[in-house]
Amino acid sequence: WSSQDYPWTKKLEANNKKVFGNHSFRPNQREVINATMSGCDVFVLMPTGGGKSLTYQLPALICPGITLVISPLVSLIQDQIMHLLQANIPATYLSASMEWNEQQEILRELSSDYCKYKLLYVTPEKVAKSDVLLRHLESLHAREALARIVIDEAHCVSQWGHDFRPDYQGLGILKRKFPNTPVLALTATATASVKEDVVQALGLVNCIVFRQSFNRPNLRYSVIPKTKKCLDDIDNFIRENHFDECGIIYCLSRLDCEKVAEKLQECGHKAAFYHGSMDPAQRASIQTQWSKDEINIICATVAFGMGINKPDVRFVIHHSLPKSIEGYHQECGRAGRDGQHSSCVLYYSYSDYIRVKHMISQGVVEPSPLASNYSRPSNGNSGRILETNTENLLRMLSYCENDVDCRRLLQLVHFGERFQSINCRKTCDNCLKVQNFVEKDVTEMAKQLVDLVKLSGQKFSSSHLLEVYRGSLSQFVKKHRHDTLSLHGAGKHVAKGEASRVLRHLITEDFLVEEVNESKVYHLFGGGQIIKLRFPSSAKVYKPSRSEATPAKG
Ligand code: ADP
Ligand code: ZN
């Protein structure tokens, strides 16, 4: 697909320069354009900022007819259209929020033989709910004026993804109605199962898949234990490494955003908060100040970031556990678009896991701006979606609990990519630690811990069970007479860190489930499974720093 001998190549290159002002193509752009212009169905996985828009806007410009673009958010659509109009490319959109008159005018234009628009953007619910739109598309198609159908943020189709939107599932109708019109599906996040789901739901045939590595070599990853002093740690981290530079701090709740922003302001940083309950004018004003560098640090929920294209974001901090690895990767991806070194620091505590898990089950987590409000129990799909969200969170927990393997490797493996940790070049906390490992068979300990969960009636938190296991005689232990259990003190010679590591391992591997204030046995190891874990022979605390930290001898 990389040939430069297609009939359209000259026109393509000329317009890329003249209209879009680009001197060349970015990786895979030319290939995707050639494939879609040859009439194939195409699926594109390209990291945020990779240049997906060009792969349909350029064909739209040089092909006869109109390109239909399905995009999840009106704000994103408006932003795109503004850019297209600035480049003199006629584009418009239809949304339910528009005046009836205005919609009629656009529909009239679509039925004209000399329709001036090259691109028509719609939200997915418009396709699902508007027969009028479908009739107009049929008429365009009959006149051979429907050039191409583009599905932006295509991962929203999949229930396995982190941005599921029921309206996207109805988009299969497009391929059924217009089987010969090429479909171009675009996304910045997709695991193999999400991709399969999308291809199936959209009914893509013999679809050509382009994917490039999701590795972002200029980002440095670290996971840091979150303590009560977390906010001081964040302040110090920024002061030492990124003073007066731009960054985003992702927080779990709206209240957290406000608290973190307030603290950072007190410490003299130019910080502000941003979340879903602010009105659109307030949010727009924050965004403007941020793009003008009047504000350096935004403390935000996941509502912040979509369509934001600031190249010099030097750090992304997660104040709480992200809800999925996909989400985490995408949020970190907003740092370092200019290719310069940037830091991604995650403050992790196991109690945040319990908190997020609880919030997910209650449906009170602020949904990603792409996803509809799916986690509410009233949704008919909630069972399956709750399961997906819980599973995604568990993978994230496992990522944080892992203090051995390369962070880059862990992320890329999740996306089905191969990666060798040597290529991380010590740009993650785990690779930076000079570690000698001892591998220990912890099967016996694991069995004891599972038995202890059963013995204590599956009603106690993991931290309490660890206390019992290590022989604590605290009042709480005595009150529940757990000092009389046969396994009380069975692990009194085991280091606390080791015992908790084993217990967490049992949780991330689904042997045990911990609900808020309740642990219960999920299932036991089948057929005498042996569990081995690696432990660093000398634990070291990694402190991220701009100047390459000199790792102490292990
Ligand atoms: P994505 O949708 O993949 O996140 P965009 O389509 O928004 O990325 O593109 C990100 C930025 O890269 C935009 O500012 C765009 O103008 C720029 N860009 C895209 N393609 C090229 C190119 N071939 N050369 C230079 N800049 C490009
Ligand atoms: Zn690494």
- pLDDT for 520 equals 63
C-alpha–C-alpha distance, residues 222 and 347, integer Å? 9
The answer for residues whose C-beta is within 8 angstroms of residue 430's C-beta and 6 or more apart is 402, 403, 404, 405, 406, 407
Q: Is 50 in the pocket of ligand 1 (CB under 6 A)?
A: yes
Q: Token pair for residue 121?
A: 């953007």
Q: Is the dihedral of CA 350, 355, 359, 361 positive or negative?
A: positive
> Ligand 2 mean position to 215 CA, how many Å?
11
Closest CA to 452 of 492, 405, 485: 485
Q: Is 46 in the pocket of ligand 1 (CB under 6 A)?
A: yes
Whether 543 has a pLDDT exceeding 90, the answer reads no
The Cβ of residue 523 has, within 10 Å, a number of other Cβ atoms equal to 10
> Ligand 2 mean position to 341 CA, how many Å?
15
Atom 2 of ligand 1, nearest CA residue: 52
Average pLDDT of the chain to the nearest whole number: 86
Q: Is 460 in the pocket of ligand 1 (CB under 6 A)?
A: no
Atom 23 of ligand 1, nearest CA residue: 25
Burial of 214 from C-beta contacts in 10 A (0-12 / 13-18 / 19+): buried
In the chain, how many H helices and how many E strands?
22, 17
Q: Is 58 in the pocket of ligand 1 (CB under 6 A)?
A: no
> Ligand 1 mean position to 51 CA, how many Å?
3
> Ligand 1 mean position to 48 CA, how many Å?
9
- Which residue among 26, 73, 210, 216 is best mutated to probe the pocket of ligand 1, counting the most ligand atoms within 8 A of its Cβ? 26
Atom 15 of ligand 1, nearest CA residue: 51
Q: Is 220 in the pocket of ligand 1 (CB under 6 A)?
A: no
What is the percent of the chain where pLDDT is above 90?
53
- pLDDT for 527 equals 52
- pLDDT for 541 equals 38
148 DSSP assignment:
E
* pLDDT tens, position by position, 107-120: 999 998 888 999 99
- pLDDT for 524 equals 56
Q: 178 falls in which pLDDT band (50, 70, 90)?
A: very high
As a whole number, mean pLDDT of residues 143-155 equals 95
* pLDDT tens, position by position, 201-210: 999 989 999 9
Strands 518-521 and 512-515: antiparallel
Q: Where would I find the beta strands (DSSP E) of 417-466?
A: 437-441
ipTM: 0.98
* pLDDT tens, position by position, 366-378: 666 666 543 344 4
Q: 382 falls in which pLDDT band (50, 70, 90)?
A: low
Q: 307 falls in which pLDDT band (50, 70, 90)?
A: low
C-alpha–C-alpha distance, residues 162 and 193, integer Å? 12
- pLDDT for 50 equals 83
Exposure class string for 351-381: b at 16+ Cβ within 10 A, else e: ebbbbbbebbbebebbbbbbbbebbeeebee
The Cβ of residue 389 has, within 10 Å, a number of other Cβ atoms equal to 24
> Ligand 2 mean position to 498 CA, how many Å?
23
* pLDDT tens, position by position, 477-509: 999 999 999 999 999 988 877 888 888 888 777
Q: Is 48 in the pocket of ligand 1 (CB under 6 A)?
A: yes
Q: What is the pTM for the complete model shown?
A: 0.78
Instruction: Please state which of the ranges 60-64, 148-152, 168-172, 345-349 shows the lowest mean pLDDT.
Output: 168-172
The answer for residues whose C-beta is within 8 angstroms of residue 292's C-beta and 6 or more apart is none
Q: Token pair for residue 544?
A: 């991220």
Q: Is 279:240 a contact under the CB 8 Å cutoff?
A: no
Q: Is 29 in the pocket of ligand 1 (CB under 6 A)?
A: yes
In single-letter form, the type of residue at position 382 comes to: S
- pLDDT for 491 equals 92
Q: Is 54 in the pocket of ligand 1 (CB under 6 A)?
A: yes
Burial of 305 from C-beta contacts in 10 A (0-12 / 13-18 / 19+): buried
